[in-house]
Amino acid sequence: MSLFDDGQIDVGGAGCYMCRRWRQCKNPKIKPIGNMKKGLLFLLEAPSQGQDAKGRIDTGTAYDLLKKTLAELDIDILEDCRIMFSVCCYGRSKEITENYIDLCRSNVWTEIKKVQPKAVFVLGKSALLSIIGRTWKRDRGEFSSWEGLSIPDKNLNTWILPIYSPRDFLKDDQYKDISKEAEWVRQIRKGILLSKKKIPADTGLLPNTEILHGPNRLSYLKSLLSNKPKYLAFDYETNCLKPQLKGAKIYTVSFATNSETGVAMPFDDEIIPLVRKVFTDRSIKKIASNMKFEDAWTNVILGVPVRGWWHDTMLCAHIEDNRSLYSGLKKQVFIHFGVPDYSEAADRYLHSDSLKKLNKIHEMNETDLLQYNALDSVFEYKLAMKQRKVFT
């Protein structure tokens, strides 16, 4: 199933009725320009005072630099591209608040759905929030933690490409940060090439989940031991981070032997003997995200080590890109598979203010917890297989 719904997209212009920014400028609601023959849309942050005075996008040093760079790449900015602002009115205050971005998002999304670009370049943080503000709400960090990524978006059916705004490396329209500009040009070139590829068919889709109770759990674990899958991703949901904490408990465990289905089950003493055998079988190669967590809990609670470790998606993400707020499973799933943060509802139960405190996992609906746990395992498996293609 898809996490997106077309009904979530506001009618264009709806936010204008609640926004006062348009009252502060000479030329409000500056319209997009460009014929977009090559399917490239550039989403800029907001008009400057000079652009507002003329009521046009195609003014200013930043626009001139973008035009010149694209021309060097055989792209005509007006014939081949579409240019628009994430906040389409100039304001006396230079600060572009998230409220302004939220209110103007309906204009942006309506335009994108209308012109159907092959790639959307988002220039700067305001433009980025306009696109991902609804689907990614936590741990956004600085724009630098997103710059250069290529995110497939099922709802908009396009690639989302965060790149620097020219304002990030232009100082007083004179000085240029040459290294930042060079990276900016490289990312534009990469995005143009990517625009020729369709987003993957499974973008934005959640894999299947299966929840097991009672004897069905034992049957599944026995099948793992008899069939001995080559690879096994697994994940625990616990009431704290440290298994040594008094009262520490594993509530659920999940498994995935392919990229299509995650299987989750309640964890109790009845399944421990079989789980021990699965985790100590060296012939089954194990996958996890931040494997030291599962390794520690298995050692302390089950009393055995995990044998046959094969892949840690978090470590590989660190190797791929060591920026902060990049290597977590949910961020990786969003970047690679276009699936928004599916842990948002679970966070308030699984998060604890201190390493020495238990969380509120016991208050979470068990079915919701098991489904969430199953998704973790199947996405770990899917991500591991994609990372192995890159690293091997």
Of 45-54, 150-159, 226-235, 285-294, least confident by mean pLDDT is 45-54
Of 140-144, 237-241, 366-370, least confident by mean pLDDT is 140-144
pLDDT of residue 243 exceeding 50: yes
Q: Residue 386 — very low, low, confident or very high, per pLDDT cuts 50/70/90?
A: very high
Give the CATH number of domain 6-194. 3.40.470.10
pLDDT, tens only, 331-361: 999 999 999 999 988 999 999 888 889 999 9
Q: Residue 8 — very low, low, confident or very high, per pLDDT cuts 50/70/90?
A: very low
What letter does residue 163 receive in the DSSP assignment? Answer: E
Name the residue with higher pLDDT: 51 or 244: 244
Q: Residue 170 — very low, low, confident or very high, per pLDDT cuts 50/70/90?
A: confident
Section 232-249 average pLDDT: 96
Section 257-275 average pLDDT: 98
pLDDT of residue 93 exceeding 70: no
What is the percent of the chain where pLDDT is above 90?
A: 71
pLDDT, tens only, 56-67: 899 888 899 999
Determine contact, residues 145/323, Cβ cutoff 8 Å: yes
pLDDT recorded at residue 304:
98
Section 362-377 average pLDDT: 97
Determine contact, residues 340/334, Cβ cutoff 8 Å: yes
Section 114-123 average pLDDT: 96
pLDDT recorded at residue 3:
39
pLDDT recorded at residue 175:
66
The domain limits of the chain are 6-194, 208-391
Q: DSSP string spanning 275-316?
A: HHHHHT-TTSEEEESSHHHHHHHIIIIISS----EEEEHHHH
Name the residue with higher pLDDT: 190 or 16: 190
pLDDT of residue 172 exceeding 70: no
pLDDT recorded at residue 376:
98
pLDDT recorded at residue 5:
43
Give the predicted TM-score (pTM) of the model: 0.90
Long-range contacts of 295-300 (CB under 8 A, 24+ apart): 296/242, 296/243, 297/236, 297/238, 297/243, 297/250, 299/243, 300/243, 300/244, 300/248
pLDDT recorded at residue 173:
57
Write the CB contacts of 233 (distance below 8 Å, at least 6 apart in sequence). 255, 256, 257, 286, 287, 288, 377, 378, 380, 381, 384
pLDDT, tens only, 297-328: 999 999 999 999 999 999 999 999 999 889 99
Tell me what the pLDDT averaged over the chain comes to: 91
pLDDT, tens only, 94-118: 678 888 898 899 899 999 999 999 9
Name the residue with higher pLDDT: 172 or 281: 281
Give the CATH number of domain 208-391. 3.30.420.10
pLDDT of residue 4 exceeding 60: no
Residue 369, CA distances (Å) to 108, 184, 244 in order? 35, 42, 23
pLDDT recorded at residue 197:
96
pLDDT recorded at residue 9:
43
Q: Residue 2 — very low, low, confident or very high, per pLDDT cuts 50/70/90?
A: very low
